[in-house]
Structure 1
Amino acid sequence: MTLDELRNRVNGIIGSLNGEFAYYIETDEGYIGEKEEKVFPAASLIKLPIMIEAFRQREAGVLDLTKPLNIAQKDKVGGAGVINQLSPSASLTVLDVLTLMITVSDNTAANIMIEKAGKEPINALLAELQCRQTVLQRKLMDFQAIEEGKNNYTSAKDAVHLLREIHHGKLLQNDSRKTMLNILRNQQFRHKLPGSMDEEVIMIANKTGELQGTEHDAAIAEYQGRAIIAAVLTKNLKNEADARHKLAEIGMVIQDYLMIVQKN
Protein backbone atom coordinates (compact mmCIF):
# COMPACT_ATOMS: atom_id res chain seq x y z
CA MET A 1 0.00 0.00 0.00
CA THR A 2 1.40 3.42 -0.96
CA LEU A 3 0.93 6.66 0.94
CA ASP A 4 -1.51 7.80 -1.75
CA GLU A 5 -3.54 4.62 -1.26
CA LEU A 6 -3.48 5.19 2.50
CA ARG A 7 -4.72 8.75 1.97
CA ASN A 8 -7.49 7.63 -0.37
CA ARG A 9 -8.72 4.98 2.05
CA VAL A 10 -8.69 7.35 5.03
CA ASN A 11 -10.44 10.09 3.02
CA GLY A 12 -13.06 7.58 1.90
CA ILE A 13 -13.89 6.83 5.53
CA ILE A 14 -13.69 10.27 7.10
CA GLY A 15 -15.17 12.20 4.18
CA SER A 16 -18.72 11.07 4.97
CA LEU A 17 -18.52 12.18 8.61
CA ASN A 18 -21.41 14.35 9.77
CA GLY A 19 -19.25 17.02 11.36
CA GLU A 20 -15.86 18.71 11.09
CA PHE A 21 -12.67 16.66 11.09
CA ALA A 22 -8.92 16.80 10.70
CA TYR A 23 -6.26 14.12 10.62
CA TYR A 24 -2.51 13.72 10.42
CA ILE A 25 -0.73 10.40 9.93
CA GLU A 26 3.05 10.11 10.05
CA THR A 27 4.82 7.02 8.71
CA ASP A 28 8.43 6.03 8.00
CA GLU A 29 7.69 6.77 4.33
CA GLY A 30 6.24 10.23 4.87
CA TYR A 31 2.99 11.74 6.07
CA ILE A 32 -0.55 12.47 4.99
CA GLY A 33 -3.03 14.92 6.42
CA GLU A 34 -6.20 16.90 5.96
CA LYS A 35 -6.74 20.20 7.81
CA GLU A 36 -3.98 19.03 10.15
CA GLU A 37 -3.32 22.53 11.53
CA LYS A 38 -6.99 23.36 12.10
CA VAL A 39 -7.68 24.29 15.72
CA PHE A 40 -10.02 22.05 17.75
CA PRO A 41 -11.01 22.00 21.42
CA ALA A 42 -8.34 19.76 22.92
CA ALA A 43 -10.57 17.83 25.34
CA SER A 44 -8.38 15.24 27.07
CA LEU A 45 -5.61 15.41 24.47
CA ILE A 46 -4.34 18.32 26.58
CA LYS A 47 -3.19 15.68 29.08
CA LEU A 48 -0.32 14.72 26.75
CA PRO A 49 1.72 17.93 27.25
CA ILE A 50 0.87 17.88 30.96
CA MET A 51 2.51 14.46 31.22
CA ILE A 52 5.55 15.44 29.15
CA GLU A 53 6.17 18.56 31.25
CA ALA A 54 5.85 16.54 34.48
CA PHE A 55 8.58 14.17 33.31
CA ARG A 56 10.74 17.07 32.17
CA GLN A 57 10.46 18.56 35.65
CA ARG A 58 11.35 15.21 37.17
CA GLU A 59 14.54 15.14 35.12
CA ALA A 60 15.30 18.71 36.25
CA GLY A 61 14.88 17.68 39.89
CA VAL A 62 11.85 19.94 40.32
CA LEU A 63 9.16 17.26 40.63
CA ASP A 64 9.45 14.04 42.62
CA LEU A 65 7.19 11.44 41.01
CA THR A 66 7.50 9.14 44.03
CA LYS A 67 6.09 11.72 46.43
CA PRO A 68 2.74 10.73 47.97
CA LEU A 69 -0.16 13.13 47.53
CA ASN A 70 -3.23 13.46 49.70
CA ILE A 71 -6.13 14.40 47.44
CA ALA A 72 -8.39 17.01 49.02
CA GLN A 73 -12.12 16.62 48.51
CA LYS A 74 -12.30 20.17 47.12
CA ASP A 75 -9.91 19.21 44.32
CA LYS A 76 -12.08 16.38 43.02
CA VAL A 77 -14.07 17.00 39.84
CA GLY A 78 -16.48 14.98 37.75
CA GLY A 79 -16.25 13.51 34.29
CA ALA A 80 -13.82 10.73 33.47
CA GLY A 81 -11.71 9.12 36.15
CA VAL A 82 -11.75 7.29 39.47
CA ILE A 83 -10.01 9.59 41.96
CA ASN A 84 -13.25 11.39 42.77
CA GLN A 85 -14.64 8.04 43.97
CA LEU A 86 -11.74 7.25 46.32
CA SER A 87 -11.93 7.71 50.08
CA PRO A 88 -10.79 11.04 51.59
CA SER A 89 -7.82 9.23 53.17
CA ALA A 90 -6.55 7.81 49.87
CA SER A 91 -2.93 8.63 49.06
CA LEU A 92 -1.38 8.37 45.60
CA THR A 93 2.10 9.15 44.33
CA VAL A 94 2.61 11.78 41.64
CA LEU A 95 3.36 8.93 39.20
CA ASP A 96 0.08 7.24 40.19
CA VAL A 97 -1.77 10.47 39.46
CA LEU A 98 -0.06 10.82 36.06
CA THR A 99 -0.91 7.21 35.24
CA LEU A 100 -4.58 7.67 36.09
CA MET A 101 -4.63 10.94 34.12
CA ILE A 102 -3.74 8.97 30.98
CA THR A 103 -5.03 5.42 31.41
CA VAL A 104 -8.54 6.34 32.59
CA SER A 105 -8.35 10.02 31.51
CA ASP A 106 -8.87 11.14 35.11
CA ASN A 107 -9.87 14.81 35.20
CA THR A 108 -9.06 15.27 38.88
CA ALA A 109 -5.59 13.88 38.18
CA ALA A 110 -5.14 16.34 35.30
CA ASN A 111 -6.07 19.29 37.50
CA ILE A 112 -3.68 18.16 40.22
CA MET A 113 -0.88 17.92 37.67
CA ILE A 114 -1.68 21.35 36.21
CA GLU A 115 -1.19 22.70 39.74
CA LYS A 116 2.00 20.70 40.26
CA ALA A 117 3.63 21.38 36.90
CA GLY A 118 2.20 24.86 36.35
CA LYS A 119 0.20 26.27 33.47
CA GLU A 120 3.02 28.56 32.30
CA PRO A 121 5.69 25.82 32.13
CA ILE A 122 3.28 23.55 30.24
CA ASN A 123 2.59 26.27 27.69
CA ALA A 124 6.32 27.04 27.49
CA LEU A 125 6.93 23.38 26.68
CA LEU A 126 4.36 23.57 23.88
CA ALA A 127 6.11 26.63 22.46
CA GLU A 128 9.49 24.89 22.65
CA LEU A 129 8.07 21.88 20.78
CA GLN A 130 6.55 24.26 18.20
CA CYS A 131 3.03 23.02 18.91
CA ARG A 132 1.58 26.28 17.63
CA GLN A 133 -2.10 25.37 17.80
CA THR A 134 -2.00 23.86 21.30
CA VAL A 135 -2.59 25.90 24.46
CA LEU A 136 -3.64 25.17 28.04
CA GLN A 137 -5.92 27.91 29.36
CA ARG A 138 -8.11 26.16 31.90
CA LYS A 139 -8.42 23.16 34.18
CA LEU A 140 -10.61 20.22 33.26
CA MET A 141 -14.34 20.55 33.98
CA ASP A 142 -13.99 24.33 34.49
CA PHE A 143 -17.10 25.36 32.61
CA GLN A 144 -16.98 28.91 33.97
CA ALA A 145 -13.62 29.40 32.25
CA ILE A 146 -15.17 28.21 28.98
CA GLU A 147 -17.98 30.76 29.37
CA GLU A 148 -15.27 33.40 29.87
CA GLY A 149 -13.69 32.40 26.56
CA LYS A 150 -10.84 30.32 28.01
CA ASN A 151 -10.49 26.85 26.55
CA ASN A 152 -7.79 24.31 25.72
CA TYR A 153 -6.99 23.83 22.05
CA THR A 154 -4.89 21.60 19.82
CA SER A 155 -4.56 20.32 16.25
CA ALA A 156 -4.06 16.91 14.68
CA LYS A 157 -0.49 17.81 13.69
CA ASP A 158 0.37 18.96 17.22
CA ALA A 159 -1.07 15.78 18.74
CA VAL A 160 1.16 13.70 16.47
CA HIS A 161 4.12 15.93 17.35
CA LEU A 162 3.55 15.31 21.07
CA LEU A 163 3.32 11.54 20.58
CA ARG A 164 6.44 11.62 18.41
CA GLU A 165 8.28 13.37 21.24
CA ILE A 166 7.23 10.58 23.60
CA HIS A 167 8.10 7.83 21.12
CA HIS A 168 11.48 8.96 19.80
CA GLY A 169 12.04 12.61 20.68
CA LYS A 170 15.18 14.31 21.97
CA LEU A 171 13.77 16.51 24.73
CA LEU A 172 13.65 13.81 27.42
CA GLN A 173 15.83 10.92 28.49
CA ASN A 174 15.12 7.40 27.28
CA ASP A 175 13.84 6.18 30.65
CA SER A 176 11.28 9.02 30.84
CA ARG A 177 10.06 8.33 27.31
CA LYS A 178 9.86 4.60 28.01
CA THR A 179 7.77 5.19 31.14
CA MET A 180 5.38 7.55 29.33
CA LEU A 181 5.05 5.12 26.43
CA ASN A 182 4.21 2.28 28.80
CA ILE A 183 1.55 4.42 30.46
CA LEU A 184 -0.01 5.14 27.05
CA ARG A 185 0.16 1.43 26.15
CA ASN A 186 -1.95 0.71 29.22
CA GLN A 187 -4.68 3.09 28.05
CA GLN A 188 -8.09 1.69 28.97
CA PHE A 189 -10.09 3.56 26.31
CA ARG A 190 -9.40 1.48 23.19
CA HIS A 191 -12.69 1.91 21.31
CA LYS A 192 -11.60 4.49 18.73
CA LEU A 193 -8.45 4.11 16.56
CA PRO A 194 -7.49 0.79 18.23
CA GLY A 195 -11.12 -0.38 18.30
CA SER A 196 -10.81 -3.03 15.56
CA MET A 197 -7.04 -3.54 15.57
CA ASP A 198 -5.53 -6.90 16.46
CA GLU A 199 -3.64 -5.98 19.62
CA GLU A 200 -1.97 -9.38 19.69
CA VAL A 201 -0.17 -8.24 16.53
CA ILE A 202 -0.12 -4.43 16.68
CA MET A 203 1.22 -2.62 19.75
CA ILE A 204 -0.90 0.45 20.52
CA ALA A 205 -0.27 3.48 22.70
CA ASN A 206 -3.07 6.04 22.56
CA LYS A 207 -4.89 8.94 24.21
CA THR A 208 -8.49 9.81 23.52
CA GLY A 209 -10.47 12.99 24.03
CA GLU A 210 -14.17 13.64 24.05
CA LEU A 211 -16.63 16.43 24.64
CA GLN A 212 -20.20 16.84 23.47
CA GLY A 213 -20.03 16.57 19.69
CA THR A 214 -16.30 15.81 19.81
CA GLU A 215 -14.42 12.53 19.46
CA HIS A 216 -10.60 12.58 19.25
CA ASP A 217 -7.94 9.92 19.29
CA ALA A 218 -4.17 10.07 18.89
CA ALA A 219 -2.18 6.86 18.71
CA ILE A 220 1.17 5.21 18.09
CA ALA A 221 0.78 1.87 16.28
CA GLU A 222 3.85 -0.40 16.07
CA TYR A 223 4.49 -3.61 14.16
CA GLN A 224 7.82 -5.42 13.88
CA GLY A 225 9.91 -2.34 14.54
CA ARG A 226 7.88 0.05 12.38
CA ALA A 227 5.62 2.76 13.75
CA ILE A 228 2.80 4.97 12.55
CA ILE A 229 1.69 7.98 14.61
CA ALA A 230 -1.82 9.20 13.86
CA ALA A 231 -4.31 11.71 15.19
CA VAL A 232 -7.94 12.16 14.14
CA LEU A 233 -9.86 15.10 15.59
CA THR A 234 -13.56 15.89 15.20
CA LYS A 235 -16.09 18.47 16.37
CA ASN A 236 -19.69 19.57 15.80
CA LEU A 237 -20.69 15.94 15.31
CA LYS A 238 -24.29 15.01 14.69
CA ASN A 239 -23.63 11.34 15.48
CA GLU A 240 -20.82 10.61 17.94
CA ALA A 241 -21.24 6.84 17.71
CA ASP A 242 -20.76 7.00 13.94
CA ALA A 243 -17.56 9.03 14.44
CA ARG A 244 -16.17 6.43 16.85
CA HIS A 245 -16.94 3.74 14.30
CA LYS A 246 -15.12 5.69 11.58
CA LEU A 247 -12.07 6.14 13.82
CA ALA A 248 -11.98 2.37 14.34
CA GLU A 249 -12.16 1.89 10.55
CA ILE A 250 -9.22 4.26 10.11
CA GLY A 251 -7.35 2.24 12.72
CA MET A 252 -7.85 -0.88 10.59
CA VAL A 253 -6.48 0.94 7.53
CA ILE A 254 -3.42 1.92 9.57
CA GLN A 255 -2.98 -1.70 10.62
CA ASP A 256 -3.25 -2.84 6.99
CA TYR A 257 -0.66 -0.28 5.91
CA LEU A 258 1.79 -1.29 8.63
CA MET A 259 1.52 -4.98 7.83
CA ILE A 260 1.63 -4.60 4.03
CA VAL A 261 4.60 -2.21 4.07
CA GLN A 262 6.46 -4.50 6.45
CA LYS A 263 5.97 -7.48 4.12
CA ASN A 264 7.31 -5.48 1.19
Structure 2
Amino acid sequence: MDNTLDQWLSHEIDAFPGQVSLLMTDLESGTVLHAFQPDAVVTSASTIKLPILLTVMEAVQRDAFQLQQPVAVPDSAILPDTTVFEDENRRETYPLLELLYWMITVSDNTATNVLIDLVGMEAVNGLCRRWGASHTQLRRKMLDFAAQAAGRDNVTTARDQYVLYAGLYERAHSQEGPWVFALDTLLRQRCQDAFLRYLNGPVTVAHKTGGLDHVHHDAGLFLSPKRPYYLGCFTWDGPSLDGQPEQARFLGKLARRICDFYG
Protein backbone atom coordinates (compact mmCIF):
# COMPACT_ATOMS: atom_id res chain seq x y z
CA MET A 1 0.00 0.00 0.00
CA ASP A 2 1.28 3.47 -0.89
CA ASN A 3 0.83 5.73 2.13
CA THR A 4 0.97 8.97 0.12
CA LEU A 5 -1.84 7.90 -2.21
CA ASP A 6 -3.72 6.38 0.71
CA GLN A 7 -3.57 9.69 2.56
CA TRP A 8 -4.78 11.56 -0.53
CA LEU A 9 -7.69 9.14 -0.97
CA SER A 10 -8.58 9.43 2.70
CA HIS A 11 -8.64 13.22 2.45
CA GLU A 12 -10.83 13.18 -0.67
CA ILE A 13 -13.23 10.63 0.80
CA ASP A 14 -13.52 12.58 4.07
CA ALA A 15 -14.29 15.76 2.11
CA PHE A 16 -16.94 14.10 -0.08
CA PRO A 17 -20.49 15.23 0.87
CA GLY A 18 -21.83 11.71 1.23
CA GLN A 19 -20.75 8.15 1.95
CA VAL A 20 -17.96 6.31 0.13
CA SER A 21 -16.84 2.70 -0.02
CA LEU A 22 -13.66 1.90 -1.94
CA LEU A 23 -11.59 -1.21 -2.53
CA MET A 24 -8.56 -1.64 -4.76
CA THR A 25 -6.97 -5.08 -5.01
CA ASP A 26 -4.08 -6.52 -7.01
CA LEU A 27 -5.58 -9.20 -9.26
CA GLU A 28 -2.49 -11.40 -9.43
CA SER A 29 -1.66 -11.57 -5.72
CA GLY A 30 -4.99 -10.66 -4.12
CA THR A 31 -3.21 -7.98 -2.07
CA VAL A 32 -5.46 -5.16 -0.90
CA LEU A 33 -3.89 -1.90 -2.06
CA HIS A 34 -6.46 0.58 -0.70
CA ALA A 35 -9.63 0.06 1.32
CA PHE A 36 -12.21 2.39 2.83
CA GLN A 37 -15.40 0.79 4.21
CA PRO A 38 -15.10 -2.09 1.70
CA ASP A 39 -17.79 -4.16 3.44
CA ALA A 40 -20.45 -1.45 3.62
CA VAL A 41 -23.70 -2.90 2.23
CA VAL A 42 -25.04 -0.42 -0.32
CA THR A 43 -27.86 -0.09 -2.81
CA SER A 44 -26.35 -1.78 -5.84
CA ALA A 45 -28.05 0.21 -8.61
CA SER A 46 -26.94 -1.32 -11.92
CA THR A 47 -23.84 -3.02 -10.55
CA ILE A 48 -26.26 -5.89 -9.75
CA LYS A 49 -26.19 -6.61 -13.49
CA LEU A 50 -22.74 -8.19 -13.12
CA PRO A 51 -23.98 -11.27 -11.18
CA ILE A 52 -26.91 -11.55 -13.60
CA LEU A 53 -24.39 -11.73 -16.46
CA LEU A 54 -22.32 -14.34 -14.60
CA THR A 55 -25.40 -16.44 -13.82
CA VAL A 56 -26.31 -16.58 -17.51
CA MET A 57 -22.70 -17.52 -18.32
CA GLU A 58 -22.84 -20.45 -15.90
CA ALA A 59 -26.03 -21.63 -17.58
CA VAL A 60 -24.39 -21.33 -21.01
CA GLN A 61 -21.37 -23.28 -19.79
CA ARG A 62 -23.57 -26.21 -18.73
CA ASP A 63 -25.53 -25.98 -22.01
CA ALA A 64 -28.78 -24.88 -20.38
CA PHE A 65 -28.76 -21.88 -22.75
CA GLN A 66 -27.05 -20.98 -26.00
CA LEU A 67 -25.76 -17.49 -26.70
CA GLN A 68 -27.44 -17.49 -30.11
CA GLN A 69 -30.82 -18.74 -28.90
CA PRO A 70 -33.78 -16.40 -29.45
CA VAL A 71 -35.39 -14.89 -26.36
CA ALA A 72 -38.86 -13.32 -26.51
CA VAL A 73 -39.24 -9.69 -25.44
CA PRO A 74 -42.99 -9.03 -25.15
CA ASP A 75 -44.43 -5.54 -25.36
CA SER A 76 -45.42 -5.80 -21.69
CA ALA A 77 -41.74 -6.09 -20.70
CA ILE A 78 -40.60 -2.88 -22.36
CA LEU A 79 -39.82 -0.12 -19.87
CA PRO A 80 -40.16 3.58 -20.68
CA ASP A 81 -36.44 4.30 -20.22
CA THR A 82 -35.24 1.92 -22.95
CA THR A 83 -33.04 3.22 -25.75
CA VAL A 84 -32.83 -0.21 -27.38
CA PHE A 85 -36.31 -1.67 -27.80
CA GLU A 86 -37.63 1.21 -29.85
CA ASP A 87 -39.72 0.92 -32.98
CA GLU A 88 -36.64 1.11 -35.19
CA ASN A 89 -35.14 -1.95 -33.45
CA ARG A 90 -38.32 -3.78 -32.47
CA ARG A 91 -38.45 -7.54 -32.95
CA GLU A 92 -40.37 -10.32 -31.25
CA THR A 93 -37.17 -12.11 -30.22
CA TYR A 94 -33.52 -11.18 -29.75
CA PRO A 95 -30.48 -13.44 -29.43
CA LEU A 96 -29.49 -14.05 -25.82
CA LEU A 97 -26.06 -12.56 -26.44
CA GLU A 98 -27.66 -9.33 -27.67
CA LEU A 99 -29.75 -8.97 -24.51
CA LEU A 100 -26.59 -9.46 -22.44
CA TYR A 101 -24.79 -6.87 -24.53
CA TRP A 102 -27.49 -4.25 -24.00
CA MET A 103 -27.80 -5.01 -20.28
CA ILE A 104 -24.09 -4.36 -19.73
CA THR A 105 -22.98 -1.82 -22.32
CA VAL A 106 -25.88 0.64 -22.07
CA SER A 107 -27.40 -0.72 -18.83
CA ASP A 108 -30.75 -1.33 -20.49
CA ASN A 109 -33.33 -2.20 -17.84
CA THR A 110 -35.74 -3.94 -20.20
CA ALA A 111 -33.05 -6.40 -21.27
CA THR A 112 -32.14 -6.90 -17.62
CA ASN A 113 -35.67 -7.75 -16.53
CA VAL A 114 -36.09 -10.21 -19.41
CA LEU A 115 -32.85 -11.92 -18.32
CA ILE A 116 -34.00 -12.02 -14.69
CA ASP A 117 -37.16 -13.80 -15.83
CA LEU A 118 -35.06 -16.18 -17.90
CA VAL A 119 -32.70 -17.36 -15.14
CA GLY A 120 -34.66 -16.48 -11.98
CA MET A 121 -33.67 -14.35 -9.00
CA GLU A 122 -32.75 -17.35 -6.86
CA ALA A 123 -30.22 -18.52 -9.45
CA VAL A 124 -28.51 -15.13 -9.30
CA ASN A 125 -28.48 -15.13 -5.51
CA GLY A 126 -27.26 -18.72 -5.52
CA LEU A 127 -24.28 -17.77 -7.69
CA CYS A 128 -23.43 -14.93 -5.33
CA ARG A 129 -23.46 -17.29 -2.35
CA ARG A 130 -21.39 -19.96 -4.10
CA TRP A 131 -18.80 -17.49 -5.36
CA GLY A 132 -18.46 -15.87 -1.93
CA ALA A 133 -20.31 -12.59 -2.57
CA SER A 134 -22.54 -13.24 0.42
CA HIS A 135 -23.84 -9.68 0.88
CA THR A 136 -24.96 -9.25 -2.73
CA GLN A 137 -28.66 -9.92 -3.28
CA LEU A 138 -31.06 -9.48 -6.18
CA ARG A 139 -34.42 -8.74 -4.57
CA ARG A 140 -36.34 -6.86 -7.25
CA LYS A 141 -36.47 -6.12 -10.95
CA MET A 142 -35.26 -2.89 -12.47
CA LEU A 143 -37.55 0.13 -11.98
CA ASP A 144 -39.73 -1.79 -9.50
CA PHE A 145 -40.10 1.20 -7.21
CA ALA A 146 -42.91 -0.40 -5.24
CA ALA A 147 -40.60 -3.24 -4.20
CA GLN A 148 -37.88 -0.73 -3.39
CA ALA A 149 -40.25 1.30 -1.22
CA ALA A 150 -41.25 -1.91 0.56
CA GLY A 151 -37.60 -2.50 1.47
CA ARG A 152 -36.79 -5.10 -1.20
CA ASP A 153 -33.76 -3.42 -2.69
CA ASN A 154 -30.80 -4.89 -4.55
CA VAL A 155 -27.60 -4.64 -2.52
CA THR A 156 -23.88 -5.31 -2.83
CA THR A 157 -20.49 -4.35 -1.38
CA ALA A 158 -17.18 -3.27 -2.85
CA ARG A 159 -15.59 -6.50 -1.60
CA ASP A 160 -18.36 -8.65 -3.07
CA GLN A 161 -17.88 -7.01 -6.44
CA TYR A 162 -14.17 -7.82 -6.19
CA VAL A 163 -15.00 -11.47 -5.53
CA LEU A 164 -17.26 -11.58 -8.60
CA TYR A 165 -14.82 -9.78 -10.89
CA ALA A 166 -11.87 -11.83 -9.65
CA GLY A 167 -13.84 -15.02 -10.29
CA LEU A 168 -14.61 -13.87 -13.83
CA TYR A 169 -10.98 -12.84 -14.40
CA GLU A 170 -9.71 -16.26 -13.34
CA ARG A 171 -12.23 -18.15 -15.46
CA ALA A 172 -11.70 -15.98 -18.54
CA HIS A 173 -7.95 -16.64 -18.38
CA SER A 174 -8.25 -20.39 -17.83
CA GLN A 175 -11.27 -21.30 -19.95
CA GLU A 176 -12.72 -20.54 -23.34
CA GLY A 177 -16.32 -19.81 -24.20
CA PRO A 178 -18.79 -17.86 -22.09
CA TRP A 179 -16.32 -16.31 -19.62
CA VAL A 180 -14.31 -14.75 -22.43
CA PHE A 181 -17.55 -13.43 -23.90
CA ALA A 182 -18.57 -11.96 -20.52
CA LEU A 183 -15.23 -10.19 -20.06
CA ASP A 184 -15.35 -8.87 -23.62
CA THR A 185 -18.86 -7.51 -23.06
CA LEU A 186 -17.74 -5.62 -19.94
CA LEU A 187 -14.84 -4.21 -21.95
CA ARG A 188 -17.37 -2.74 -24.40
CA GLN A 189 -19.03 -0.64 -21.69
CA ARG A 190 -20.53 2.55 -23.16
CA CYS A 191 -21.25 4.20 -19.78
CA GLN A 192 -17.98 6.08 -19.42
CA ASP A 193 -18.92 9.05 -17.26
CA ALA A 194 -17.34 7.82 -14.00
CA PHE A 195 -14.01 5.94 -13.85
CA LEU A 196 -13.24 6.75 -17.47
CA ARG A 197 -14.33 10.37 -17.24
CA TYR A 198 -10.83 11.89 -17.11
CA LEU A 199 -8.70 9.04 -18.45
CA ASN A 200 -6.96 9.43 -21.77
CA GLY A 201 -4.62 7.31 -23.80
CA PRO A 202 -4.74 3.51 -23.91
CA VAL A 203 -6.70 2.07 -21.01
CA THR A 204 -8.43 -1.31 -20.81
CA VAL A 205 -11.25 -1.42 -18.26
CA ALA A 206 -13.91 -4.13 -17.91
CA HIS A 207 -16.48 -2.55 -15.64
CA LYS A 208 -20.09 -1.80 -14.79
CA THR A 209 -21.47 1.49 -13.51
CA GLY A 210 -24.63 2.13 -11.52
CA GLY A 211 -26.59 5.23 -10.66
CA LEU A 212 -29.77 6.31 -8.88
CA ASP A 213 -30.76 9.47 -7.06
CA HIS A 214 -27.89 10.24 -4.63
CA VAL A 215 -26.10 7.02 -5.67
CA HIS A 216 -23.28 6.57 -8.17
CA HIS A 217 -20.99 3.55 -8.42
CA ASP A 218 -18.32 2.14 -10.70
CA ALA A 219 -16.46 -1.14 -10.30
CA GLY A 220 -14.35 -3.35 -12.51
CA LEU A 221 -11.02 -4.60 -13.77
CA PHE A 222 -8.19 -2.33 -14.89
CA LEU A 223 -6.28 -4.71 -17.14
CA SER A 224 -2.89 -3.03 -17.21
CA PRO A 225 -0.14 -5.33 -18.53
CA LYS A 226 2.09 -3.93 -15.80
CA ARG A 227 -0.23 -4.57 -12.85
CA PRO A 228 -3.87 -5.59 -13.39
CA TYR A 229 -6.13 -4.62 -10.52
CA TYR A 230 -9.73 -4.40 -9.38
CA LEU A 231 -11.14 -1.01 -8.40
CA GLY A 232 -14.58 -0.50 -6.94
CA CYS A 233 -15.88 2.82 -5.64
CA PHE A 234 -19.44 3.21 -4.36
CA THR A 235 -20.98 6.53 -3.35
CA TRP A 236 -24.35 7.07 -1.68
CA ASP A 237 -26.20 9.74 0.30
CA GLY A 238 -24.49 12.14 -2.10
CA PRO A 239 -25.59 15.40 -3.70
CA SER A 240 -26.52 14.15 -7.19
CA LEU A 241 -29.87 13.18 -8.59
CA ASP A 242 -29.75 10.44 -11.22
CA GLY A 243 -28.02 11.83 -14.29
CA GLN A 244 -26.37 14.75 -12.52
CA PRO A 245 -22.57 14.74 -12.64
CA GLU A 246 -21.18 15.60 -9.20
CA GLN A 247 -20.71 12.06 -7.90
CA ALA A 248 -19.51 10.78 -11.28
CA ARG A 249 -16.92 13.55 -11.32
CA PHE A 250 -15.72 12.42 -7.90
CA LEU A 251 -15.31 8.86 -9.17
CA GLY A 252 -13.46 10.15 -12.20
CA LYS A 253 -11.10 12.19 -10.04
CA LEU A 254 -10.19 9.20 -7.88
CA ALA A 255 -9.72 6.88 -10.85
CA ARG A 256 -7.47 9.39 -12.64
CA ARG A 257 -5.20 9.79 -9.61
CA ILE A 258 -5.01 6.02 -9.07
CA CYS A 259 -4.24 5.35 -12.74
CA ASP A 260 -1.59 8.06 -12.81
CA PHE A 261 0.09 6.43 -9.83
CA TYR A 262 -0.12 2.76 -10.81
CA GLY A 263 0.12 3.17 -14.56
- Same fold (TM > 0.5): yes
Q: Give a deviation string over 1:17-51, Cα, whole Å, max 9, x none.
A: 11111111112562121111111111100000000
Question: CA separation of 1:119/1:203 partners in 2, compared to 1, >3 Å: closer, same or farther?
Answer: same
The amino acid of 1:178's aligned partner reads V
Q: Sequence identity, in percent?
A: 24
Q: Name the structure 2 match of 1:262.
A: none
Question: CA separation of 1:136/1:99 partners in 2, compared to 1, >3 Å: closer, same or farther?
Answer: same
The number of residue pairs the alignment matches comes to 257
The amino acid of 2:42's aligned partner reads F
Give the superposition deviation at 1:222.
2.0
Distance 2:110 2:160 in 1: 24
Asked if 1:15 corresponds to 2:14, the answer is yes
Identify which of 184, 187, 200 aligns with 2:186. 184
Distance 1:17 1:215 in 2: 13
The amino acid of 1:50's aligned partner reads I
Distance 1:62 1:138 in 2: 24
* Structure 2 stretches lacking a partner, 5+ long: none
Q: Give a deviation string over 1:95-133, Cα, whole Å, max 9, x none.
A: 100010000001011101111111111111000011121
Q: Name the structure 1 match of 2:65.
A: 63
Give the superposition deviation at 1:70.
3.0
Question: CA separation of 1:34/1:207 partners in 2, compared to 1, >3 Å: closer, same or farther?
Answer: same
The amino acid of 2:8's aligned partner reads R
Aligned runs of 1:78-157 on 2, under 5 Å?
A: 78-79=80-81, 81-83=83-85, 88-157=90-159
Question: CA separation of 1:96/1:170 partners in 2, compared to 1, >3 Å: closer, same or farther?
Answer: closer
Of stretches 138-147 and 81-90 in structure 1, the one that deviates more from structure 2 is 81-90
Report SS of the residue matched to 1:215.
Answer: strand
Identify which of 58, 75, 78 aligns with 1:76. 78
Q: Give a deviation string over 1:75-107, Cα, whole Å, max 9, x none.
A: 111336422565543531011000100000010
Report SS of the residue matched to 1:14.
Answer: helix
Report SS of the residue matched to 2:210.
Answer: strand
Of stretches 45-54 and 148-157 in structure 1, the one that deviates more from structure 2 is 148-157
Asked if 1:210 corresponds to 2:211, the answer is yes
Give the superposition deviation at 1:251.
1.0
Asked if 1:247 corresponds to 2:251, the answer is yes
The amino acid of 1:154's aligned partner reads T
Report SS of the residue matched to 2:245.
Answer: helix
Distance 1:90 1:227 in 2: 41
Q: Is the 8 A contact 1:23 1:34 kept in 2?
A: yes
Distance 2:209 2:68 in 1: 26
The amino acid of 2:208's aligned partner reads K
Report SS of the residue matched to 2:132.
Answer: coil
Q: Name the structure 1 match of 2:230.
A: 229
Distance 1:172 1:137 in 2: 32
Asked if 1:5 corresponds to 2:4, the answer is yes
Question: CA separation of 1:81/1:46 partners in 2, compared to 1, >3 Å: closer, same or farther?
Answer: farther
Aligned runs of 1:41-52 on 2, under 5 Å?
A: 41-52=43-54
Q: Name the structure 2 match of 1:25.
A: 24
